Structure 1
């Protein structure tokens, strides 16, 4: 069953509105800081809305509904872990990050260590943010394929193209303005339309309880290992993610960044529970769904009337598009600021920076769309992205903040070694295994400790000889 033409018209209108808002945002992107961090001038509401829209993307919506369909309430841990990461940043790192006055994580690592650490971390982070962009584009194709009836290729090209269009033009200002619209639509669609109508379809929460086994209401039904995997992948990944840090840099004050991250983290927890329940409703309504990844789209088709369905789909697309635009911009910023500018064009003008940023964003956007046509599983692509990021960068960044004796050489080699180990482990054990992230973290901390201690001993011996 496909959507009514009224609902399709709502979606097309929504696409047009987002494109227009993105063009308006382009007029405010006049400098490199405007393009990359919105001039560091967002107030509490704008900051919270944009940060929430960034973290709660396609994988959060489609993936959590899928997990809710399969495991019940314990499907919330995936998104809950991301909200936990935001709260941890607010409590322990917000002041340090905000006071850096940089644009990328790589800049921080160069200031703390050396240019080599900046370059290797930026390449790893760019891989993560690009893969995250791919997951959102995949989810867009999945939703439009089930609801509107467009084939996946057309869906990806249309929606991915719109995201690429406004991100290329206006950078963070376009992303910010569209995110505010998308956050509002997403909130209304998920909390005020989709949740109540899904529960109504199954006879309310009591009907849901009566229709599903007790295990589906157990928060640990997925198993302790999977919960640990979610925390290690997504909490640690959020803490050291360039896309999140770049949003932190947009806040107009430290207070805004701290309170905004806590508010966004709390919103993420509510979102996680809500979408998991929607997935559980889908299990009651369509118990033999062949592709669990289509759980959200299928229950919407079953439960929502004409008009409401279009609004909810607009909300889902908002989640997808806001995250994909943020991660696309993060990838571009890393490549332009930490590689092109740092190595080849250190004295580039503001005008030249904007030109190269737009061209780079376009190139990464096209690459992400091509990858989305190749990789079809949202959660598999997301696991790859977070495994590389968390395993390779968590300890170098955190120890860089809190342990003054860590050496640049130790950080550089730990990032390279852990990235290689994670890649080999993913190939051997698969994306669903917790082993790659564990091996990556263990490799990272061991190399940092050994090389830091060796260099300290060498320095001590050298000082002793000189005496």
Structure 2
């Protein structure tokens, strides 16, 4: 039995204990979905940061830096600024709402049919991102343990679904605090030591310039329309992200909600620096010779053999699982509470059922998507194109009508999916969100003038 197996076994044992402890707090649906609205600042901040730091932020984003260099920094700029703006403009309002899910906002401002469409789009978003997280976990297990990739994928899915069922958001929040400290410790060890092993920042920079100068150009591997699409996807999906809304609902006070959101935004700056250093190091070390999503786990295995490397691999898995479990809770709650609307007495049972179902669907989608970032960006695009305009208008423009919200949701999400399937050149989110905006404004204006 190798060191990684022992450390990972201890990590899983700790998760099970925390899940069992948290399950004792579950008395109703509110406890499962929003932790009884009792999360303090450390728990709210930790669960936000741990959820935000998933396969996309670590393995996927580092892989993109490895592949395309500084061009990918635009994604980090959009992410950080959007999180800080949410803290300033939206966090306190969300905490005051007293609802359970994003579709509850749609029902409150529009009607039930819009709520159902919103619930479906949110489920697509959550399941797509969980799929990316499962891919990330499988890549790590396959790299470290030498498992067959499919076996590693099934094992990752089984672990995530199992402990997610135990404690709902209480369990997720408690384990996220633990997983966040694991992650922070891992990055504090990995980033400076990697830089040291690669000869320091100046030497690393010179090596990249020698291998490929475009890696050091923020426009080297991207175009203006790609940057615009990234900003639209990230801003739109973050401003209505169900995992963010869920944490704001669960925060004990408005101040807790705002501070924790601001801390998450600042944390993203640190993540960006870490991803740039690790991704650039992988590019110099492997010189483009490995698959994008394997860049980070392969680098850590090569540079840190033994117990240090095993610990870093466990921290990567902890990060991925903390995002996957959070979104499975959102998906299960959204389908049960919002889409099917089961009675209160049976809702907790049905939430658990749909949590498992969402995990199984996410597992199946792993065989469709090409990479971690492909899965996450596509699901975010569908969600943003269909729901950003109707949801944000609930806070800033009260003239939106029920029909406008309903038809713009369907059209925006639908156009994005069809555009992706047909493979037309423009990024699918651009036509999708344009159609959504046009229909929402046009139908609202037409109906309010009658």
Alignment partner of 1:188 out of 185, 188, 211: 185
Which residue of structure 1 lines up, in the alignment, with residue 401 of structure 2?
Answer: 407
Q: Which of 109, 118, 121 is equivalent to 2:118?
A: 121
| Contact map agreement 2:229 2:427 (CA 8 A) in 1 | no
- Report the CA distance between 1:427 and its aligned residue: 1.4
User: Once superposed, what is the RMSD of the aligned Cα atoms?
Assistant: 1.7
Contact 2:236 2:384 in 1 (8 A): yes
Q: Does 1:255 align with 2:247?
A: no
Please say if 1:390 is aligned against 2:389: no
1:84: Cα distance to partner? 2.6
Q: Matched residues in 1 for 2:70 and 2:14: separation?
A: 35
1:240-281 deviation line (CA, Å, top 9, x unaligned): 111221111111111011111011011012102211210100
CA distance in 1, matches of 2:410, 2:226: 27
CA distance in 1, matches of 2:32, 2:426: 37
Matches of 1:367 and 1:444, distance apart in 2: 27
Give the corresponding residue for 1:13: 10
Contact 2:3 2:307 in 1 (8 A): yes
Distance of aligned partners of 1:118 and 1:364 in 2 relative to their CA distance in 1, 3 Å threshold: same
* Matched residue, 1:275: 275
Deviation digits for residues 171-221 of structure 1 (CA, Å, limit 9, x no counterpart): 10111111111111111112x111112112210112211211154334443
Alignment of 1:396-435 (within 5 A): 396-429=390-423, 435=427
The residue aligned with 1:285 is 285
Q: Does 1:442 align with 2:434?
A: yes
Please state whether the residue corresponding to 2:27 is helix, strand or coil.
coil
TM-score norm. by structure 1 comes to 0.92
Q: In the alignment, which residue of structure 2 is the partner of 1:453? A: 445
Deviation per residue, 1:330-370 (Å, 9 max, x gap): 101111111222xxx44x32xx2221211221222222223
For the 8 Å contact 1:220–1:227, the answer to whether it is kept is no
The structural deviation recorded for 1:96 is 2.2
Cα deviations by residue, 1:88-136 (Å, 9 ceiling, x for unpaired): 2111112221111001111111111111111111111111111111110
* C-alpha displacement of 1:146: 1.5
Higher Rg: 1
Q: 1: CA distance between counterparts of 2:79 and 2:426?
A: 17
Per-residue CA distance 1:357-386 (angstroms, 9 max, x = gap)? 112212222222232244341111112101
Partner of 1:216: 215
Displacement of 1:82 after TM fit?
Answer: 2.8
Q: Contact 2:95/2:250 (CA < 8 Å) preserved in 1?
A: no
Aligned to 2:158: 161
Structure 1 residue ranges without an equivalent (≥5): 459-467
Please give the secondary structure, in 1, of the residue aligned with 2:306.
Answer: coil
Choose which of 33, 42, 51 in structure 1 pairs with 2:48. 51
Instruction: Check conservation: 1:73, 1:219, Cα contact below 8 A.
Output: yes
Instruction: Name the SS for the 1:375 alignment partner.
Output: coil
Contact 2:67 2:288 in 1 (8 A): no
Q: Cα offset for 1:80? A: 4.1
Q: Say which SS state the counterpart of residue 32 (structure 2) adopts.
A: helix
State the TM-score, normalized to the length of structure 2.
Answer: 0.95
Q: How many residues align?
A: 446
8 Å contact kept, 1:429–1:435? no
The SS at the match of 1:203 is: coil
Deviates more, 1:44-53 or 1:25-34: 25-34
